[in-house]
Structure 1
Amino acid sequence: MTTLDLPVAAGSRSRRVLGRRGSFWTAAAVAGISLWTSAAPTTSYPLYAKTWHLTPTATTAIFAVYPVVLVAFLLLFGQLSDFIGRRATMLYGVGAMLVGVLLFALAPSVAWVYAGRAFMGAGVGLALTPATAAAVEFSARGKADRAAPITTAATAAGLALATIVGGGLIEYAPAPLHLDFWVLLAVVAGVFAAVWAMPRHTKDEAQGRWRPRGVTVAKGIRLLYLAAALAVTAAYAFGSVFLALGAQIVRDLVGTGNIFVIGLLLAIFSVATGTTAIIGRRFPARRLVPLGAVLTIVDLGLLELAATAHSLPFFVATTAVGGTAYGLLFSGGLGLIGTHAPAHHRGATVSAVYLVAYILQGAAALALGVVATAAGLSTALLLGVTVIGTLALLVLAATFALTRKEVA
């Protein structure tokens, strides 16, 4: 029984319910605003540091609060949408995002920012998994494989809007600490309304009543899960360098203090990610993942070169190649797991992938901030290069093992 075959619940007749296509794009929009929300403070970090006299450790801690809370919610509620439905879980998540963004919009001190990041982490922890699963389930019949690239493109668009809109409003509009969050608040409210109009039921709901439980992965797909989790983790770890330290890298190593220019430069990463996801939808996920790992290793060398040479052209090349690698890894990783996970455990399986990725992203962001404070930005970048390079090699090993298993 599919999502659209289920009977309409009591009360649904009083509201307009989206069809399959509208629900698909609403799920993609939830993924997009999840990443916009997560990255919204990126261009604000230098301003927070200047206004409230924060160290790099404090600014990266603002970033790290988000994945720490998100991981806790994935552990507790990773399977929730398999039981109560994608729509209901997304409503809780987008509602929490609204609270988090509102706290940023009103924030008179860094304490409010920390609280806002906690609500953002809770919101994305609740919303991103069911959005990813719903994109698969609401895809046009026979076209479930397009869900991963569209979701990746949506998240890339969210990241790009975060840096471009945020950078432009901070640099040229009044109330630089707050206005960009008021704009985001309006966007999140609009997506909340769209989610409200989605069908109430989910496809192939799990049996029994929901209760907090550990995230599990079906035995038959564990090697597939490992390859997918490593791919998404490598992408997120690489992304954490740009999200947590990107504005500071541009300002300190490239030599510009214009927040809008910083936002545009960081957006190159997101544009490359989205473009790669759309082009890559024509190719099997098993080809995208190892290619992304190889490009990641190449880009780590470019990042070190850009930092050493203090070169804007090298940094632009780094963001473009890095965005391409991210798009291949993230889209390929979601593609591997999204279409092979059992439907009644899809939410839990996707949560397990995000769980590993966000744990490492939070740890990497916080570690980079501590090292940058104690030993300088160049040392922090060297640490990041080492960790991400190791992950890329593990991705190659996992995909090689998966290929050998399938051949055997």
Structure 2
Amino acid sequence: MSILTAFSTAPSPLYSLYRRQNHLSSITVTVVYAVFAGGIVASLLLVGHVSDWYGRRTVLIPALVTGLAAALIFAVSTSLPALLVGRVLTGLALGAATATAGAYLTDLDAGPNGVVTRRAQIVSTVANVGGLAIGPLAAGLLATYVPSLIYVIFAVLLVVALVATWRSPEVRPLPAPRPRYRPQRLAIPAAARAQVSAALTGDFLVFTVYGVFAGSASAFLSGPLHRTSPALAGLTVFFAFGVGALTQVSTATWPLRRLLALGVPVLIVGLAVIVTAAWVQPPSLALFLAGAALVGVGAGSIFRSALTTVLTTAPPNDRAALALFFVVGYLGLSVPVVAAGIALQHATFKVLLLTFAIVVAAGILLASPRLRRLTTDN
């Protein structure tokens, strides 16, 4: 899973390079991002749940093959048609694998009566956020030398993951007879409606922050700071996501109440620091990195709370409920970024960043009563 998530964010620090090479407008880059997001959501809705019926490996293997095809396309060409096709395939692969990999992990490391273990929760969250962090860092560092090399490396890693998945056991018994295929129905489990609804709220807001931060890092560095280095852009995104992953590991034993008490205020402060970094004269890279760290702590805490809630409240025989969690998350990751790309045609980066921070902070404050529901019975 971490290989696919890393592969999905690897192009983040390279978009400025692609824009110069292919003479792309900001709106065209937004379209490339939109087709990636569309692939994720479509795949989650169409196949994100069928591993409950046909087996985890049956879904994961085609997903990895699809990701491998995308990596080979990028390794050969980064023209606009290649970017569009490759990003659609990446989205389809990630959407199919996201919920399935999390469900497979809980199958392999389930506690008594199918209860999700804390170890499975930690590995699942770190694999997602850690992968998001590693992709931009690796791509940014290698872009200085051979930009296409990162995709060759990911192709090799995906082959390794494919072989490992092929050799892994299918431990969950499959239903007999198997249900007739139908697309995923996005319904919150009735037995845990309040908890899951609150988790989805935090999920959407956290992915929104991650998405806009990843999309704005290069714009901030190349715009106000006049630094066009892909390595620096990748390092900045890695810093935020890496701190988020580290936060999830270091707070593994914390109850949900304590995680949220940390995450909500720290995330708001982090957004304020990032906005300040863009508005002070001269703009400050140090402040931007400090804000990135705070955002990583806040977002990582809320994300682990939300995902843990879904993992522990969804019925053991309906692990595909994770598809709903990730549909909401990736909508949060994509829709605001697409909107930001359109808004940049009419507003400056600083105004857009300030507007985003105000909207997200207001959303977090308004959602706080619902987020506190995550602490019920925890």
TM-score category of the 2 structures, normalised to the smaller one: over 0.9
- Hey, what does 2:204 align to over in structure 1? 233
Runs of 4 or more above 4 Å deviation: 203-207
Contact 2:55–2:174 (8 Å) recurs in 1: no
Cα pair distance change 1:317/1:108, threshold 3 Å: closer
Match of residue 262, structure 2, among 276, 284, 291: 291
1:136-174 alpha-carbon deviations (Å, 9 max, x no partner): 222264671222222222223322321221111111x13
Amino acid of the structure 2 residue aligned with 1:106:
V
Match of residue 335, structure 1, among 297, 308, 324: 308
Amino acid of the structure 2 residue aligned with 1:267:
F
Contact 2:199–2:309 (8 Å) recurs in 1: yes
- Hey, what does 1:314 align to over in structure 2? 287
> SS where residue 212 of structure 1 aligns?
coil
Number of residue-to-residue matches in the alignment: 372
Alpha-carbon shift at residue 45 of structure 1 (Å):
0.4
Amino acid of the structure 2 residue aligned with 1:274:
A
Contact 2:40–2:330 (8 Å) recurs in 1: yes
Cα pair distance change 1:204/1:369, threshold 3 Å: same
Alpha-carbon shift at residue 283 of structure 1 (Å):
0.8
Segment drifting more, 121-130 vs 207-216? 207-216
Alpha-carbon shift at residue 52 of structure 1 (Å):
1.2
Contact 1:137–1:203 (8 Å) recurs in 2: no
Contact 2:4–2:131 (8 Å) recurs in 1: yes
Amino acid of the structure 1 residue aligned with 2:75:
A
- Hey, what does 1:197 align to over in structure 2? 167
Pair 1:110 & 2:83 matched: no
Pair 1:39 & 2:9 matched: yes
1:237-316 aligned at under 5 Å gives the runs 237-309=208-280, 310-316=283-289
Segment drifting more, 385-394 vs 159-168? 385-394
- Distance in 2 (alpha carbons) for counterparts of 1:276 and 1:222: 27
Contact 1:163–1:263 (8 Å) recurs in 2: yes
Alpha-carbon shift at residue 387 of structure 1 (Å):
3.3
> SS where residue 227 of structure 2 aligns?
coil
- Hey, what does 1:165 align to over in structure 2? 138
Contact 1:86–1:201 (8 Å) recurs in 2: no
Match of residue 69, structure 2, among 59, 80, 99: 99
What TM-score do you get using the length of structure 2 for normalisation?
0.92
- RMSD (Å) for aligned C-alpha atoms: 2.1
Alpha-carbon shift at residue 205 of structure 1 (Å):
4.9
- Distance in 2 (alpha carbons) for counterparts of 1:203 and 1:324: 38
Alpha-carbon shift at residue 305 of structure 1 (Å):
0.4
Match of residue 89, structure 1, among 54, 59, 72: 59
Cα pair distance change 1:190/1:50, threshold 3 Å: same
Cα pair distance change 1:289/1:350, threshold 3 Å: farther
Cα pair distance change 1:210/1:300, threshold 3 Å: farther
Alpha-carbon shift at residue 204 of structure 1 (Å):
6.8
- Hey, what does 2:37 align to over in structure 1? 67
- Distance in 2 (alpha carbons) for counterparts of 1:52 and 1:181: 18
Structure 2 unmatched runs, 5+: none
Contact 1:45–1:59 (8 Å) recurs in 2: yes
> SS where residue 172 of structure 2 aligns?
coil
Amino acid of the structure 1 residue aligned with 2:181:
R
Contact 2:257–2:372 (8 Å) recurs in 1: no
> SS where residue 379 of structure 1 aligns?
helix
1:358-394 alpha-carbon deviations (Å, 9 max, x no partner): 1232210100111112212122212321332233224
- Distance in 1 (alpha carbons) for counterparts of 2:192 and 2:92: 28
Pair 1:188 & 2:161 matched: no
- Distance in 2 (alpha carbons) for counterparts of 1:83 and 1:397: 37
Pair 1:396 & 2:372 matched: no
Alpha-carbon shift at residue 181 of structure 1 (Å):
1.1
- Distance in 2 (alpha carbons) for counterparts of 1:397 and 1:337: 18
Segment drifting more, 269-278 vs 207-216? 207-216
What TM-score do you get using the length of structure 1 for normalisation?
0.86
- Hey, what does 1:368 align to over in structure 2? 340
- Hey, what does 2:21 align to over in structure 1? 51
1:59-92 alpha-carbon deviations (Å, 9 max, x no partner): 2322222121211121222321111112211112
Alpha-carbon shift at residue 96 of structure 1 (Å):
1.3
Structure 1 unmatched runs, 5+: 1-29
Alpha-carbon shift at residue 101 of structure 1 (Å):
1.7
Cα pair distance change 1:206/1:355, threshold 3 Å: farther
Contact 1:206–1:345 (8 Å) recurs in 2: no
> SS where residue 346 of structure 2 aligns?
helix
Segment drifting more, 263-272 vs 392-401? 392-401
- Hey, what does 2:91 align to over in structure 1? 121
- Distance in 1 (alpha carbons) for counterparts of 2:203 and 2:302: 6
> SS where residue 317 of structure 2 aligns?
helix
